Amino acid sequence: MNAALATLKERGFFKQCTDEDLLNKKLDEGPVRIYVGVDPTGPSMHVGHMVPLFAMHHLQQAGHLPIVLVGGGTARIGDPSGKTDMRKMLTIDQIKSNAENLKKQIANFIEFDGDKAKLVDNADWLADLNYIDFLRDIGRHFSVNRMLTFEAYKKRLEKGLSFIEFNYQLLQSYDFLELYRRENCILQIGGDDQWGNIVAGMELIRRMEGGEAIGLTFPLVTRSDGKKMGKTEKGAIFLDPELTSIYDFFQYWRNVADADVEKFLLLYTFLPADECRRLGALKDQEINKAKEVLAYELTKIIHGEAEANKAMEGARAAFKAGGTQDKSGMPSAGMTVSELEAGINVMDLFVQSGLCSSKSDARRLVSQNGASINGEKYSDVDAIIGVEAINEEGGEKEIVLKAGKKRFFRFIVK
RNA sequence: GGGGAGGUUCCCGAGUGGUCAAAGGGGGCAGACUGUAAAUCUGUUGCUUCGGCUUCGAAGGUUCAAAUCCUUCUCUCCCCA
């Protein structure tokens, strides 16, 4: 088997392929141009978008040529695959700014130096399409009967599917055709929810150009506890540090279920597969080391080594009692001495930190014995925090709040 | 275009003119147990200056009193054309 394909399989990136033998052959013959699409429908990628990009990274390492398509055109429509509701329409400006952010994030996975990879935007060819021409040239190759049998559309038929969304598949197929014509791109990869769209693209290429194209999909990543990948109560885990703090990003991975560690190491880090397996096989307390490696490695890929170190140190400082570790990675804010001299109510302090969303929330936390300051429990709702709460460590004056067992916040007193 | 059903707190989903801040479940949060795990058990889950205040698609109205009745609007789903 081709080495690149073997790597993908070994690491869990293989779900279905339209023609595995052909793919094997093509990958062996030399560099293949490979298309993966991302739609700029949100201000940032989130954790769920990463799998195809990691796969692309491995393929690039094996010498193949990624073409990353940012769907500036298709984002105007919205892909119904896997969705139960129609997406909100985005303005052109939103899409543009989303696309810019996306491009930066993609560069974490794929090298764009020189000719190693290409970034394209399908708005370049979709925006000015002529409707009549499109219908006549492309639309005639699609059978509505056939499309309705796809799971993606079936589901939506129960709920309601607008005509605009129904066209998504044609546009994505047309993208593949364009890339085949322009770049000689013969392989499209994506999540398994893209299977229908990818196959449709292949068929279009065969019908219009007589060309042989291949599709490859990855399993949709699930968590062993059944929760949605990359989602927390507060929302998705984003790659943009403005939307998900680096500390929270790190903690998300640090807290994955035992059963998921190995799978995630293989999918979401660049560590050798053997190493991922070794770490994933650790048991009991030892597996925490593997979780830390996962969190560290992935944070490093997305946010850089310096930030990853900060986040790891911050987490260690928070969870290991005492110690003089570096807490700079912990979420924090400034506070003046005079504020403390006046005295602040515990509940107000927790609200101010953002650890509690309202005073009622803070009251609950305190009365349920979940609030502590500098490691000391506070269960009196009326407690007033003053200057005596300032903790001096390593030359910095601070007050460290803790809500429950895992949420920390640090006030730096000036 | 005609007819029907419906929009309830994060989600699903009960709901009687007053005893509803609104059953139940899910999810969340907190506590116990732990390994920053899972499972389990317990408590809690609109806001508050703790007097109250603002919620049941939107706006009006009836009433001492409305999520519950009336009017208009709006959105969703279903059937017919």
**DSSP for A91-128, written as a single string:** -HHHHHHHHHHHHHHHTTTS--STTS-EEEETHHHHTT
Footprint of strand B on the protein (CB under 7 A): A 158-160, 225, 227, 233, 251, 254-255, 257-258, 284-285, 287-288, 291-292, 315-316, 318-319, 351, 357-361, 363-365, 368-370, 403-407
Quick one: DSSP state of residue A388?
Answer: G
Residues of A designated as active site:
41, 46, 49, 83, 87, 172, 193, 228, 231-232
CA–CA distance, A189 with A118 (Å, rounded to integer): 15
Q: Residue A147: what pLDDT?
A: 85
CA–CA distance, A35 with A69 (Å, rounded to integer): 7
Do A4 and A59 contact (CB within 8 A), yes or no?
A: yes
Check residues A26 and A391 and name the one with the higher pLDDT.
A26
Give Cα separations from A96 to A87, A103, A134, A241 (angstroms).
Answer: 17, 11, 24, 19
In the chain, the amino acid numbered A381 is V
Confidence of residue A74 (pLDDT cuts 50, 70, 90): confident
* Sign of CA pseudo-dihedral A24, A28, A33, A36: positive
% of chain A residues with pLDDT over 90: 53
Give Cα separations from A190 to A1, A56, A170, A194, A261 (angstroms).
Answer: 21, 10, 16, 6, 23
- Average pLDDT of the residues in A90-106: 86
User: CA–C1' span, A312 to B28, in Å?
Assistant: 26
% of chain A residues with pLDDT over 70: 92
* Sign of CA pseudo-dihedral A106, A111, A113, A119: negative
Query: Of the ranges A132-136, A142-146, A155-159, which one carries the lowest mean pLDDT score?
Result: A155-159
Confidence of residue A323 (pLDDT cuts 50, 70, 90): very low
Q: Residue A193: what pLDDT?
A: 85
| Bases on strand B under 7 Å from any protein CB | 27-32, 34-39, 43-50, 76-78
Backbone angles phi, psi at A79, to 5 degrees: -80, 125
CA–CA distance, A280 with A347 (Å, rounded to integer): 41
- Average pLDDT of the residues in A95-106: 89
User: CA–C1' span, A134 to B18, in Å?
Assistant: 64
- Average pLDDT of the residues in A390-402: 84
User: Distance between the two ends of chain A, CA-based, in angstroms?
Assistant: 62
CA–CA distance, A349 with A355 (Å, rounded to integer): 9
At A204-240, the pLDDT tens digits run 999 999 989 999 999 888 787 766 676 665 667 889 9
